[in-house]
Amino acid sequence: MVFDIQIRELTNTMPHDESSKLMTQEFLRLLTKSQNAIFSYILILVPGKCNAEDIYQDTVSTLWEKFESYQPNTHFEVWACVIAKYKVLQHIRKNLNSRMHFTSEALELLDSTSSEFIEHFDDRTEALRRCIKKLTPHNRRVLKMRYENGWTVKKIAAVFEQTAQGVYKQLNRIHMALMTCIEGTVHH
């Protein structure tokens, strides 16, 4: 997963004197706790998982560079998402030729809507895990192929001898079922 590789690479470049070590440990602790929420925020603003991963890597490097300016005991992910948003806008400016990015109006609306989901990301993740158990074995298998094994939609389509569109529809149905379950679990 991109997150684990990122953390390993960062760790290799960090200084090893005592106070730096403490700062490093604190940074890694905060990052590990928030990385999913930060990535989720970026993916909300930027279409395409590959673009989001690139921006995420860039964001983490900047977070480390600027960590001294982070106020302890404040919300790390809120601070991190401010930097992430800046990186998103930078990415959009660099790729203005591509029209595959949200308009400013859409970006602002998404930014404000996303905060509720980022704040409760851990609760929703816990609910997701309980909901996965309720899937049929077949649908769990499809999810495993896609998200755990990292198979492309094309490869899954080849295995089940379906079209890619068929696999997308299947994945979408599974997502919908999970989200309905998550909402029920979280509100309960």
Partner 1 sequence: MLNDTEKFKLGLLILRSIEGEITQEEFDVLNRLIIDSEASRRYYCKYISAYSALQRTDISYYAGDDDKHIDYVFNADFWQAMADYEKSATEVRLAPSREPSQSVVVEKVDYGNAKYIHFNRRSFYSLIAAAAAILFLIVFARFAPPRSGIEVAVLSDSLNAKWGDANASMPPGRRLTTGSHYYYLREGYAKIGLDNNTWITLEGPAEFQFLTGDAMTLSFGKLYAIVPPEAYGFRVSTPSANIIDLGTEFGVQQDLYGNIDLHVIKGKTSLVSRIDSARLNAFVEAGSARRVDGSTGQVNEVAINERLFVRHIDSATRSVWNGQPLDLADIVGGGNGFGTGRLDRGIDVSSGRAIRSLVVTDVFAGEKGYRDVPSSPYIDGVFVPGIGPGATRMSTTGVQADFPETSGRLWGYIFNGAWHQGSDDVPRHFLQLDGMTIDGTQTAAVTIHSNMGITFDLAAIRETLGGVKIHAFASTFGVSETVDNWLGQRNFSDLEPGDDVQKLAASRQASVEFWVFLDGKKTLRRTISSASKAGHVDIPIDDDVRFLTLAVTEADDTVMFDWALFARPQLVLKAAD
| Segment interacting with partner 1, rule: CB under 8 A, options 21-29, 57-65, 69-77, 172-180 | 172-180
- If you write DSSP's letter for every residue of 110-127 in order, what string do you get? HHHHHHHHHHTHHHHHHH
Q: How far apart are CA 78 and CA 38, in angstroms?
A: 9
CB of 20 vs partner 1, minimal distance in Å = 28
Cα distances (Å, whole numbers) of residue 4 to 41, 47, 136, 140, 144: 18, 22, 30, 24, 19
Q: Give the one residue of 1, 17, 82, 97 binding partner 1; rule: CB under 8 A.
A: 1
What one-character DSSP code corresponds to residue 163?
A: -
Please say which residue, 21 or 129, places its beta carbon nearer to partner 1.
129
18-45 helix and 49-65 helix, angle to the nearest 10 degrees: 150
* Contact flag: residue 18 with partner 1 (CB under 8 A): no
Total residues at the site for partner 1 (CB under 8 A)?
74
Q: Give the one residue of 40, 55, 59, 60 binding partner 1; rule: CB under 8 A.
A: 40
* Contact flag: residue 133 with partner 1 (CB under 8 A): yes
* Contact flag: residue 131 with partner 1 (CB under 8 A): yes
* Contact flag: residue 7 with partner 1 (CB under 8 A): no
Q: How far apart are CA 10 and CA 12, in angstroms?
A: 5
* Contact flag: residue 31 with partner 1 (CB under 8 A): no
Q: Give the one residue of 44, 63, 80, 83 binding partner 1; rule: CB under 8 A.
A: 44
Q: Which of 30, 31, 23 is nearest to 4 (CA)?
A: 31
